Structure 1
Amino acid sequence: MNGSSPAADARESAATAIPLRRTPYPYWLVSDTGSGMSMSMLSFAMPLIALMITSSPAQAGIISAITVVVRIFATMLGGVLADRHSRGRIMIVGGIASTVLSAGFTALAWSGSLTFATLLATSIVMGFSSTVFAMATDPMLKDIVPASMVGRATAANQGRDATISLTSGPLSGSLLGVGVWLVGAVMTVIDAIALAASVLLVRRTERAAAPAPTTPARSPGRRGFRAARSELSEAFRWLWRRRDLMNLIVIVMLINMGIGIIVTTTIYSLQQNGASAFEIGLVTASTGVGMLLGSFAAPWAVRTVPTGLLVVITLTWFTVGSATLIIVDSIAGIAITLMLCCLVSPAVNACLGGYMMVATPSTMLGRVNAAESVMMGVVAPVAPLVAGFGFALWGRTPTMGIGIALTVTSIVVMMATKPTRSIPVDAGWETHAASFEDSEQTVRV
């Protein structure tokens, strides 16, 4: 079904028996963690720095808005580059660029040269660089880890992501209390560590007995804007034909919008009822605590619970928890409810992300990831808009009802679509995904 040879199957079986720590994965994890931590610190600190420097919320908003647009463009370009060139080498180049740019930002802050213009330029350049090179990181994971271990690797990443979410904000805030330059200095050190890990990762994979990470073979030809647009269009068309993956994307869109509306409405309600910024911060931090606790069970869930069943359970859990928020109005009650809701997030995130990675051919994984990110980015503003206008027009409960309706819809879609409902445990992902590849080839014939 996959066209793999018996020898390749034997290598896959043997590789599966090797613990993750015996693969190049630890080097990848250090590199990705460093890059993610640096990006998270920058995302948290830049709006605050802009307010400190300009004293203008409007100018700070301009910087943030332009940077978001640049990141969307960088996502698409990065996806194309990740499928054209060696992903390990891209990670090294990205590490060098991030380290240099963070050091340059530190110098600007130390010398007192930060203005609206320099902040805007810095945010654009650093946002573009970090995003475009980061698009090679996830595809690189598939190159260094056997398909049957991708689920466990992505599950292991969930605890790391929760830790970054919990620590990056407080760390950046405390560093800003000393000086803007210190944020840049710490980012420089973190980026340098990520760079060193990327170098070691490439060296390890090049010395390994198994074939080195694949550099996707692209046909020779032009490499301009028109070629990049054509390659991205190819990824969108391929993704549209894959019923299993498009169903998952629609379901994730629905649940993200639903939960986003519910959480944002809850925060607006707390603020309007006089809750302090510290109390609201505790409420939002509770989601990170829930994810961190849930990450310990994620590897077990990926191996044991069929992915389709796990998604249904998770969506139902989210819906019940969301409905509970309507009747809970205390700070402690809301924080505990959100924490409990997020306990199941790491497992389902690992399953969905891992299956998407296994199901996508390595030669187009970068572009497909970019296409998915763009589709998710298009609906990202919906939640705050609905929450803002809904809360102002109808109040807390009706607006949260909209979010709950979306989460219920995601359950209905999941239950009604066999391609996603029947996704097995991680060991069966490759076979399940291959059945849709065969169907696609039959349709083409």
Structure 2
Amino acid sequence: MVESTMGIEASPENEANDEENGQKRSASLWRTPGYPSWFTSDTASAIGAAMQGFGVSLVSYKISGSLIAAGWVPTLTSIVRQLANVLGGTIVDRHDRKNLVIVNCIIGVLLWGTTGILLLVGSLTFSVFLAIMLTSSLFTGCLGGATDAMLRSIIDSREYPKARSVNEGRDATITMIGNPVGGMLYLFGAWVPFIVSAILYMIAGISASQIRISKKLTMKSTYSPEGKHSGKEAIASFCTDFVDGWRFVLTSKIMLIFIITTALVNFGMNGAQYSIELSLVGRGINPVLLGLVGPATCIGSLTGSLFSGHYGDRMPAGLCICATGIISTVAYIPLCFTDSYHAIVLCSIIIGLPFPLYNAMVMGFVFSKTPDELQGRVKSVMSVGVQLLSMFSSSAAGYAVTHLGFISTIRLFVIVLFVAAAILLASKRVRRIPVSSLWHKIDLHA
């Protein structure tokens, strides 16, 4: 039988032990068997993606000679990745996740190693490069969720806030240094970032092979609308598993609230950041100053992740989620009245502060409460939901800045952020989420 965390009630003895051992559990994250290998693999993959990601547009333009063609490559790859992601969660839940991670890493080694070699010998054509990019996006969408889904079987659910905070800080660091490092590698040759990426994916695959996985995943089960999980050995059809994943999410009011609010926050924040970038470009600002806006947000995120990692497992998750919603709204208020560059940089730092804590609490709570056999599907459904609006944030920002001006555009996006914060504050389900040591008492479908 596959264990489920839904609806489990703790005895008074276990509850007391949870309180007394909370700090011990938090400190033991890095001593958890399998976690260091998992983190190494995930980090190597993230850096590898950043390295090859930097050179995509440059190489596209170099081999095609067309800005239009170069601009279409990220768009097409994003579309393919999102379409594949819809089915990716079901694929992840129906197969051994460790093997899927290794396969994804092997594909990364082959694709980016081939790209680097073809660039080195001058034989890479635009059609081949586009095919490589689309293939990479297809496999990333189908298999990329296996890494996060596997985490549920490695660490204790109460370690999720800390683990998410560590990931947020790591991602902020990679984002901050990824482009400069990628640029330095590109100076040595257009092929270098891709070869480095292939090497990093090789490291990720080797590390993944060392991960220890709980045997809880050796049995498959299916989700029933009543909220119970049967231990039947017969594997349901792909379509049935796919529907079960969507049903699990869409029948949970609290997950629907998180999807709606996160989608609004993503749209509002990304729209505001695109508006800032477009406005500064339109004003002809120095490229060096323009390039500091992104790292400013990363600095805020890195600072926020340090706070979240230290205090996240000690604070009530619901209150933290509501507080981060308020901060994300307040962060852009100065830009509703001024377009000063210094105000833009300051607001960019502030907007980065709440999101590590928000992600640690929301994603940590949801995935700690999601049964092992549904991890991939729930991640897939939530990813599609929260990114749906943000796909249009750049076009909305471009239209609004052009026709309404910078300040009026920021005001519109602040309204979107305000609506998201209001929904969070109005929800008793969200406000009453306790500290992570008591998450076992909460039912996602209550």
Q: By the TM > 0.5 criterion, same fold?
A: yes
1:365 aligned partner: 375
- Could you say what secondary structure the match of 2:210 adopts? helix
Residue type at the aligned position of 1:376: V
2:324 aligned partner: 314
Residue type at the aligned position of 1:111: V
1:123 aligned partner: 133
Cα deviation 1:364-399 (Å, max 9, x = unaligned): 110111111112232122221221111111111221
Q: Distance in 2 between matches of 1:428 and 1:52?
A: 55
2:108 aligned partner: 98
Could you tell me how far 1:4 is from its partner in structure 2?
8.4
- Could you say what secondary structure the match of 1:214 adopts? helix
Consecutive aligned runs of 4 or more in structure 1 exceeding 3 Å deviation? 1-6, 12-18, 218-223, 227-230
Q: Distance in 2 between matches of 1:390 and 1:89?
A: 46
1:443 aligned partner: none
Cα deviation 1:113-170 (Å, max 9, x = unaligned): 1221011111111222233222101111011101111221111211111111112111
Could you tell me how far 1:190 is from its partner in structure 2?
0.8
| Contact 1:155–1:351 (8 Å) recurs in 2 | no
1:212 aligned partner: 215
1:442 aligned partner: none
TM-score (norm 1): 0.89
| Contact 2:26–2:159 (8 Å) recurs in 1 | no
Could you tell me how far 1:222 is from its partner in structure 2?
8.8
Alignment of 1:215-364 (within 5 A): 215=218, 217=220, 227-364=237-374
Q: Is 1:78 aligned with 2:81?
A: no
Residue type at the aligned position of 2:337: I
Q: Distance in 2 between matches of 1:258 and 1:72?
A: 20
Change over 3 Å in CA distance of 1:215–1:43 after alignment to 2 = farther
Could you tell me how far 1:351 is from its partner in structure 2?
1.0
Residue type at the aligned position of 2:78: V
1:22 aligned partner: 31
Aligned length: 423
2:386 aligned partner: 376
Change over 3 Å in CA distance of 1:236–1:339 after alignment to 2 = same
Cα deviation 1:328-350 (Å, max 9, x = unaligned): 43333311221122122211111
Cα deviation 1:79-121 (Å, max 9, x = unaligned): 1121111111211222222222221111111111122101111
Percent of aligned pairs with the same amino acid: 27
| Contact 1:85–1:215 (8 Å) recurs in 2 | no
Structure 2, unaligned runs of 5 or more: 1-5, 222-231
- Could you say what secondary structure the match of 2:354 adopts? helix
Change over 3 Å in CA distance of 1:260–1:89 after alignment to 2 = same
Residue 395 of structure 2 is aligned with which of 385, 399, 417?
385
Q: Distance in 2 between matches of 1:270 and 1:65?
A: 23
Structure 1, unaligned runs of 5 or more: 206-210, 440-445
Residue type at the aligned position of 1:55: G
- Could you say what secondary structure the match of 2:152 adopts? helix
| Contact 2:102–2:208 (8 Å) recurs in 1 | yes
TM-score (norm 2): 0.89
| Contact 2:164–2:364 (8 Å) recurs in 1 | yes
| Contact 1:301–1:347 (8 Å) recurs in 2 | no
| Contact 1:232–1:371 (8 Å) recurs in 2 | no
Residue 200 of structure 2 is aligned with which of 164, 169, 190?
190
Residue 46 of structure 1 is aligned with which of 51, 56, 62?
56
Could you tell me how far 1:5 is from its partner in structure 2?
9.9
Q: Distance in 1 between matches of 2:423 and 2:377?
A: 26
Residue type at the aligned position of 1:158: E
Could you tell me how far 1:32 is from its partner in structure 2?
0.5
2:180 aligned partner: 170
> Aligned-residue CA RMSD in angstroms?
2.3
Q: Distance in 2 between matches of 1:37 and 1:213?
A: 30
Tell which deviates more after alignment, 134-143 or 258-267.
Answer: 258-267
- Could you say what secondary structure the match of 1:144 adopts? coil
